[in-house]
Amino acid sequence: MKQVIIAVIAVVVIIGGAVLFSGDDSVEGTGSNHFYGQEEGIVTVTEYADFQCPGCGSFYPLVSEVKEQFKDQIRFEFKHFPLVQIHPNAIAAHRAAEAAGNQGKFWEMHDQLFEQQNAWNTATDPASIFRGYAENLGLDMAQYDAEVNTPEVLSVINADTSAGKSQDVSGTPSFFIDGVAIENPTTTINTVESFSARIQEAIDAKNGTSENTESPEDTSSEDAVLPEEESAE
């Protein structure tokens, strides 16, 4: 498979304060269940991401290829982690994705949000843009309009973010394999080759076929420059 190296430079925004993940963090329910691939995969790869995060947008093509490559072996989960303190349009984007998920179109909205990130990143009325995406996806717009701003949708987003915080997630993108964090993803898994090698290593370990060989990530992507993980501390 052709290897993809992402070479996108972005400004890292780090400001003081707590990570605030919604306008009302008292509204919390059951987390999301959005996965790609196998419901009972050999391993589970989890991404905590913010739709407005430039680093997450830069990882999107890479993640898409890895998901497709391993779709018959792994469960790839997406978890909401909007950093609203530094990304004012994030919560509306996550609401749109969750509302689309209620109609079975989470991944389609997920892809639209990342592929069109530059179109809505600084918009003053992002919700109207997201509504357009929902129409393009053929959603029942009466249902979408009734659900997108509800406490129930917000509660799913908040529950995901709380789960991430319990795993010491403080920025995006953050990745886990079977609950174990991948340290420094922007330097350790910043190519399809290096990310795939890490997943394959976990699969082999589960299957009892792992070998003591040097991981391709040790020598890959010297030319790749990714935005650092974004955080609000």
Q: Is the peptide bond before 126 cis (omega within 30 degrees of 0)?
A: no
Q: How far is CA 158 from CA 82, 91, 149, 153, 163, in A?
A: 9, 10, 13, 9, 9
What whole-number distance in Å separates Cα of residue 212 and Cα of residue 179?
Answer: 22
| Domains of the chain with CATH codes | 34-231 (3.40.30.10)
Please report, rounded to a whole number, the percentage of residues in the chain having pLDDT higher than 70: 78
| pLDDT level of residue 29 (50, 70, 90 thresholds) | confident
Length of the chain, in residues: 233
Kindly report, residue by residue over 36-70, the tens digit of the pLDDT. Answer: 999 999 999 999 999 999 999 999 999 999 999 99
User: Among candidates 97, 62, 82, which has minimal Cα distance to 188?
Assistant: 62
Kindly report, residue by residue over 152-170, the tens digit of the pLDDT. Answer: 999 999 999 999 999 999 9
